[in-house]
Amino acid sequence: MVPLAGSKSYGSLNTFASSPAADGLGLFVELEVRCAGRPDATTGYLVDIGAIDRLIRRQVAPLLATALETGESLPAPAFLGRSLAALATLSPPVRSVALDLTPFLRIEMESANMTRVLLRQRFEFAAAHRLHCPELSAERNRELFGKCNNPNGHGHNYRIEVAAAVSIDARTGMPAVGVDRLEEIVHEQVIARFDHKHLNLDTTEFASLNPSVENIATVCHRLLQAPLANVGAELRTVTVWETGKTSCTYPA
């Protein structure tokens, strides 16, 4: 959380909240740092979390604050690249850094390939479905699926996260395939196809395929893979949430 002009800073007594503390309007961003290696045999530590925290506060956070104060154009990939450079002294090494620009959009950069970023954007669609396998008896279907086997179906507000790797445009410093293009493709291939539909009755994809969350994630991946590849994006994973407690990622 970076306070804007007019907000007050009271320090960082609440380690779960923003730093510095703010009671006015602010820019919310969240940075995730991932390290990989073998934990120390004695301490059980992989890395001292305090060391990460100190580097972030002293070397990474000021990059964003300076950009806001000076009006410097700082594309997210450039910020992630500078963050990886600032964290290069950590041991074990940082595998990736990810920037949450909104609760629904994440941009991630891996230290092994800093010429690309991974865009993770979330979407929502509402649909009804019935879990039913015609190969099984009515009794067995009821045993397996319970209320989800209701003959008239039931509905969910599905959430879907699409993760696509894209190259960085050397001229602009921005992802070569922008979030707007990603959203267009997902809307065309998934949202417009499934939103406010009964999946079993209104779609060809699930006319004979049981619309479990596993199958929905797999079908969405299949629908998106070629269109994203055609614009230069590599589809990594598709995650579908049927409820806040039930989700599936394909491929695993």
Q: In the beta sheet, which residues pair with residue 94?
A: 35
Tell me which of 69, 124, 133, 196 is the catalytic residue: 196
Examine the residue annotation and report whether 220 is marked as an active-site residue of this protein. Answer: no
Examine the residue annotation and report whether 242 is marked as an active-site residue of this protein. Answer: yes
Residue 137 φ then ψ, to 5°:
-70, 160
For the chain, state the CA radius of gyration. 22
Tell me which of 148, 187, 198, 248 is the catalytic residue: 148
What SS3 state is found at 106? strand
Angstrom distance (rounded) from CA 210 to CA 175: 37
Angstrom distance (rounded) from CA 176 to CA 117: 10
Amino acid at 3: P
Tell me which of 108, 110, 161, 242 is the catalytic residue: 242
Report the sign of the C-alpha dihedral through residues 59, 60, 65, 68, in that order.
Answer: positive
Examine the residue annotation and report whether 196 is marked as an active-site residue of this protein. Answer: yes
Region class of 240: left (phi > 0), else alpha (psi between -120 and 50), else beta: beta
**Residues with catalytic annotation?**
148, 196, 242
